[in-house]
């Protein structure tokens, strides 16, 4: 592999390594977290496959399912119109975030749900959440500057509802984090210097005789 190929491979691997997603069972709220409510009549509250909620800071979040959903205020509940819910995708409308807490409520005996987190940079990460009768809180956090684009839940059992959504680190833009700009800029600067050096036939000999 030539040097340009090595530089490109390094850039790709470095960007992929940036994403750090942490999963923990329970309601582990952080300072600055905001509730998501479904009580704004100007938003899409359903029944529809995609509905909207809003944070205390005024950022709109979308909730998409495989069937018609209903959003309700109070404990910020998302339910399926027919009462059985097996999938849900949450994302900020025109933005990103760094943490999410939610509670999938289940009235059956036991089951599992696969949680998929898509960061703005780096590899998608998954977590298998065990659900049982009652509340099943999950807290998703990040470190190393990682930002989340979306969180999807696909359940192997029919859930009653999702509720008590809390989100942290909301940024109402879709721009990559500063660390990404720095790394990309450094990589392209390196490529430019290397290309310029190769175009000078006598550069290697001059450096050797110096």
State residue 139's pLDDT score: 98
Q: Which domain holds residue 67?
A: 21-174
Q: What is the mean pLDDT of the chain?
A: 82
For the ranges 41-50, 129-138, 187-196, the lowest mean pLDDT is seen at: 187-196
Over range 38-58, report the average pLDDT: 93
Secondary structure letter of residue 122 according to DSSP: S
Write the Ramachandran bin of 144: left for phi over 0, alpha for psi from -120 to 50, otherwise beta.
left
Report how many domains make up the chain: 1
- CA angle (192, 196, 200) in 5-degree steps: 170
Residue ranges with strand state E in 146-195: 148-159, 161-168
Residue 150 resides in a domain: yes
> Which of 125, 90, 123 is CA-nearest to residue 104?
90
Mention every residue, 6+ apart, whose C-beta is less than 8 A from residue 161.
77, 78, 79, 80, 85, 104, 105
Q: List Cβ<8 Å contacts ≥24 apart for 12-17.
A: 14/183, 15/121, 15/122, 15/180, 15/183, 15/184, 16/122, 16/123, 17/122
Task: Select from 102, 100, 86, 88 the least CA-distant residue to 137.
Answer: 102
| pLDDT at residue 75 is higher than 70 | no
CB atoms within 10 A of CB 70: 18
The CATH number of the domain where 162 resides is what? 2.60.120
Residue 57 CA, chain-centre distance (Å), reads 19
User: Residue 70 domain-assigned?
Assistant: yes
Q: Round to whole Å and give the CA distance between 27 and 183.
A: 35
pLDDT above 50: residue 154 = yes
Judge whether 200 lies within some domain: no
Question: Is position 204 within any domain?
Answer: no
Those residues with Cβ within 8 angstroms of residue 191's Cβ, 6 or more apart along the chain or in another chain: 4, 7, 8
Return d(Cα 90, Cα 77) in angstroms, integer.
13
117 part of a folded domain: yes
What does each C-alpha distance from 137 to 129, 176, 189, 197, 206 come to in angstroms?
9, 29, 45, 56, 65
pTM: 0.74
Give a yes or no: residue 65 inside a domain. Answer: yes
Residue 187 lies in a domain: no
pLDDT digits (tens, 9 = 90+) for 17-39: 456 999 999 999 989 999 999 98
Q: Is residue 107 part of a domain?
A: yes
What tens digit of pLDDT does each residue of 104-140 get?
A: 999 988 999 999 999 999 999 999 999 999 899 999 9
Confidence of residue 202 (pLDDT cuts 50, 70, 90): low
């Amino acid at each position: 592999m030539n040097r340009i190929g090595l530089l490109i491979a390094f850039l790709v691997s470095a960007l992929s390594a940036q994403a750090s997603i942490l999963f923990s069972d329970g309601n582990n709220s952080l300072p600055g977290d905001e509730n998501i409510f479904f009580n704004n009549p100007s938003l899409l509250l359903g029944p529809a496959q995609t509905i909207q909620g809003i944070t205390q800071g005024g950022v709109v979040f979308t909730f998409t399912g495989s069937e018609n959903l209903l959003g309700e205020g109070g404990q910020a509940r998302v339910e399926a119109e027919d009462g059985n819910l097996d999938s849900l995708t949450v994302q900020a409308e025109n933005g990103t975030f760094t943490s999410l807490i939610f509670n999938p409520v289940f009235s059956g005996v036991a089951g599992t749900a696969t949680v998929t987190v898509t960061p703005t940079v780096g590899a998608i990460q998954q977590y298998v959440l065990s659900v049982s009768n009652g509340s099943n809180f999950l807290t998703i956090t990040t470190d190393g500057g990682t930002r989340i684009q979306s969180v999807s839940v696909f359940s192997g059992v029919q859930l009653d509802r999702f509720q008590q959504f809390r989100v942290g680190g909301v940024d109402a833009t879709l721009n990559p984090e500063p660390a990404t700009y720095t790394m990309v800029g450094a990589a392209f600067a390196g490529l430019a210097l290397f290309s310029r050096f190769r175009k000078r036939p006598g550069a290697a000999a001059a450096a050797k005789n110096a």
